[in-house]
Amino acid sequence: MYYEFASKHFHKSSQVPRNLNKKELAYDGWRGAGKGLSSRVRRMFLDMDPGIDDAVAMLLASQLKDVEVLGVSTVAGNVDVVKTTRNALKIVEFLGLRAGVYRGSSRPLIRPHENSADIHGNDGLGGVALPEPRIRADPLPGPMAMAEFARAEPGKVTLVATGPLTNVAIACMLDMDFPGHVKQLVIMGGAFSLAPYGKGNVSQFAEYNIYADPEAANLVFTSFQDILCVGLDVTMHPDLLVKQEDLNRLRKSGSRMGSLAADIMGFSVRRMGYFAPHDPLAVYCVHDQAIVSTKRGRVKVVTDLQGERGRTILETDSEKSNVSVASAVDGTRFKEELLGALERAR
Ligand SMILES: [Ca+2]
């Protein structure tokens, strides 16, 4: 069965212990992880489609002192899964992270894959010159990896999903206990008309991640007890949009990471006049959720093909609320935190 297979595989995998430091390994192997850690360390698993803003989110995650990245799974989204996986490997290698990279689904649950290479460039990283990665993806599939990390430490792992929700939905179907094992699911996705700019970016209604796999999104939104949804209502706040002068600041800082971030974000700034740090804000919320205020309710996703596909609807009158939808953000503070973290990195 799946779990037996995955456990066997997982123990054998050379990648798994990479998220553990020597101090932890001195305890009782990787399943004892966390015993040697301060309770303030937030254990994060990333599910992504890098992607310009996913890449910047990884850079930011590496700089948050109270966050440990356990692993990164990849999904078809901004570009195909071969490219999103290669991009994740490039960034993990650049950062020297010990986190494994796990390739996930190559297409949405029931629909063909539609990329957004026009926004992220053909390679998904805006053509930024990073060397071909020497490290390789772990053979464990992405959905199995996230389910395994959550099962290993029930209630401890925060899952941050910044691409289409295909892998998360598959993990829910593979392991019925998976949603209950996750401490909190943070989703970058959706547009709820809670702010003037909280409109769709694929259609009038739909944000890309939800639009790309609305069936997966619907399953995910109804499966977890505690979801924080960070959508366009906050990630398009004018105060947090990164502009050319911000890129200049990063380049002047002399930081290797700041310079890479400026190159990656520069693709978007050249095309649109700004870079919207969608995925970095979702990651940052794990460190400091008070950066956003939220409205609590249940979320339904329109899945039909007639016009409103991918629309997210917040129902606040529900008795069984499980989703906090970000409705406002301190954009000025967030942009300063993001730029500061990138320019301080050495
Ligand atoms: Ca993304």
pLDDT at position 14: 38
Ligand 1 center to residue 50 CA distance, Å?
A: 6
pLDDT at position 31: 34
The region of weakest confidence among 146-155, 279-288, 298-307 is 298-307
Query: Model pTM?
Result: 0.90
DSSP structural state of residue 195: S
* pLDDT top residue among 329 and 120: 329
- Cβ neighbours of residue 43 closer than 8 Å, sequence gap 6 or more: 34, 68, 70, 153, 156, 157, 158
- Cβ neighbours of residue 30 closer than 8 Å, sequence gap 6 or more: 16, 17, 19, 20, 24, 152
The region of weakest confidence among 39-43, 194-198, 307-311, 324-328 is 39-43
Residues belonging to the active site: 49, 278
Angle between helices 331-344 and 244-252 (to 10 degrees): 30
Residues by chain with Cβ below 5 Å of ion ligand 1: 49, 51, 54, 162-163, 279
Ligand 1 center to residue 23 CA distance, Å?
A: 33
The region of weakest confidence among 6-10, 37-41, 271-275, 324-328 is 6-10
pLDDT at position 120: 81
Can you state the percent helix, strand and coil of the chain, rounding each to 5?
45, 15, 40
pLDDT at position 317: 86
Ligand 1 center to residue 187 CA distance, Å?
A: 10
Q: List Cα–Cα distances, 314 to 63, 84, 226, 294, 299, in angstroms.
A: 33, 30, 15, 11, 5
Q: What is the fold, at CATH topology level, of the domain defined by 2-13+20-344?
A: Inosine-uridine Nucleoside N-ribohydrolase; Chain A (3.90.245)
Compute the CA torsion angle 268, 269, 271, 272 (nearest 10 deg).
100
Mean pLDDT of the chain: 89
Question: How confident is residue 38, by pLDDT bands cut at 50, 70 and 90?
Answer: low
Q: Scan for tokens 């399943």, then name that residue.
A: 31
